[in-house]
Amino acid sequence: MIRIKNLSKLYQTKKQQVQAVDNVSLNIEQGEIFGVIGYSGAGKSTFVRLINRLEEPTNGSVVIHEKDITKMSTNQLRKKRQKIGMIFQHFNLLWSRTVFDNIAFPLEIASVSKTEQKKKVQELINLVGLAGKENAYPSQLSGGQKQRVGIARALANDPEVLLCDEATSALDPETTDDILDLLVSINKKLNLTVILITHEMHVIQKICHRVAVMENGNVVETGDVLDVFVKPQSKTTKRFVQQLNPLEYEKENLVEFINDKEDSEVVKLHFIGNNAKRAVISEVAKKFDVEINILQGSIAPTQEGAYGTLYVEINGDKKILEETITFLEGTGVEVEVLRHV
């Protein structure tokens, strides 16, 4: 649906060149929520602005529905942008206009009739949960309500793609979750492709199907969210995953809980998808003559299913320990034996 190939952006100043985006290639499928995550300066916001040519690329191409955005004339691009919605971190509302008039603004530009405007705007107000706020001004709204207006406005011309540039960064955690739930609902109802830029792994975890990790203008890792969470490859990705469960990466904290008997193993278990619901520890306790000391664990949902980790110390006869670990591996749970924690 969206094919991005060798996309680059080079800024030239009097003193130096800055490579904001460096030869990025990605394929984003119709109807998916695709996350792009990176720390400040990674190039992610420049990248998303290249998609609708708010920034002109130095090199590369962006093809949406078989149409190359980078080769379009000014008039062609103006029409195409009506099908590329965008929401921003700081809302970018027109403060002298009501909620209704803010949402109607793109329709006015597209020369939609007043009758159709009224019908469409009311549908969008209901969709984003702002019924009763039609005549309110932005100054009378909460941050979450302002972003709902921004989302409704971005949907006014029935876009093919919705670009979200740090859309929840200015919101508190509870409001952030409400907006993310709204984006998931819109994605499902409209089969709308969403590209979401963020620096928060919680946002990626909660709503994205796939993710690309950016660093210094490059994509250093990409894949299904579940795969990236369970087996992060790059240092940057590991730092982001650590945001969700800091204790997991501080294994020295486990030492004080380990009995450290002579015949024992410390094991890290990865539960993915339906395996996260399985009572594996209970099965082991019933089947084998071992003692199990649970050291630490966590579980989290993603759009592709739940994943979790559990650290346990298993004490018992050496042969039985081997049989226990073999049994665990046979359940579909990923097993990592940590002999030196």
Place of tokens 């690329």: 57
Give CA separation, 37 vs 165, 204, 215, 239, 242, in Å.
Answer: 11, 8, 9, 12, 14
pTM for this model (two decimals): 0.84
Model confidence band, residue 306 (pLDDT cutoffs 50, 70, 90): confident
User: Which residues on adjacent β-strands are paired with residue 22?
Assistant: none
Model confidence band, residue 126 (pLDDT cutoffs 50, 70, 90): very high
pLDDT at 252: 55
Count the domains in the chain: 2
Residues 228 and 288 in one domain: no
201-252 per-position pLDDT tens digit:
889 989 999 999 999 999 999 999 988 887 888 999 988 888 776 655 555 5
Domain with residue 142: its CATH number is: 3.40.50.300
140-168 per-position pLDDT tens digit:
999 999 999 999 999 999 999 999 999 99
Residues 184 and 304 in one domain: no
Amino acid in position 295: L
- Range of 131-145, 238-252, 283-297, 314-328 with top mean pLDDT: 131-145
DSSP 103-124: HHHHHHHTT--HHHHHHHHHHH
**What phi, psi does 58 have (nearest 5°)?**
-75, -40
pLDDT at 341: 41
Range of the structural domain that residue 120 is part of? 2-244
Closest CA to 305 of 231, 244, 237, 224: 224
Domain with residue 310: its CATH number is: 3.30.70.260
Among the residues of the chain, which ranges form H helices? 44-51, 74-81, 99-109, 114-127, 143-154, 173-190, 201-207, 225-230, 235-244, 280-287, 318-330
Residues 132 and 269 in one domain: no
Residues 127 and 167 in one domain: yes
Residues 18 and 91 in one domain: yes
| 3-class secondary-structure state, position 339 | coil
Answer whether 324's CB lies under 8 Å from 290's CB. yes
| 3-class secondary-structure state, position 236 | helix
- Of 177, 211, 244, the residue that ends a domain is 244
Rg, the chain, Cα only? 24
Residues 224 and 274 in one domain: no
Residues 181 and 206 in one domain: yes
Give CA separation, 149 vs 81, 120, 123, 177, 236, in Å.
Answer: 19, 14, 12, 16, 34
Amino acid in position 211: V
33-89 per-position pLDDT tens digit:
999 999 999 999 999 999 999 999 999 999 999 999 999 999 999 989 999 999 998
Residue 167 DSSP code = T
- Of 223, 244, 265, the residue that ends a domain is 244
**What phi, psi does 340 have (nearest 5°)?**
-130, 95
Q: What is the largest CA-CA distance in the chain?
A: 80
Residues 21 and 84 in one domain: yes
Residues 199 and 257 in one domain: no
Residues 219 and 314 in one domain: no
| 3-class secondary-structure state, position 25 | strand
Sign of the Cα pseudo-torsion (109, 112, 115, 117, in order): negative
- Of 244, 268, 290, the residue that ends a domain is 244
183-203 per-position pLDDT tens digit:
999 999 999 999 999 999 889
253-282 per-position pLDDT tens digit:
565 556 656 677 888 888 877 666 778 888
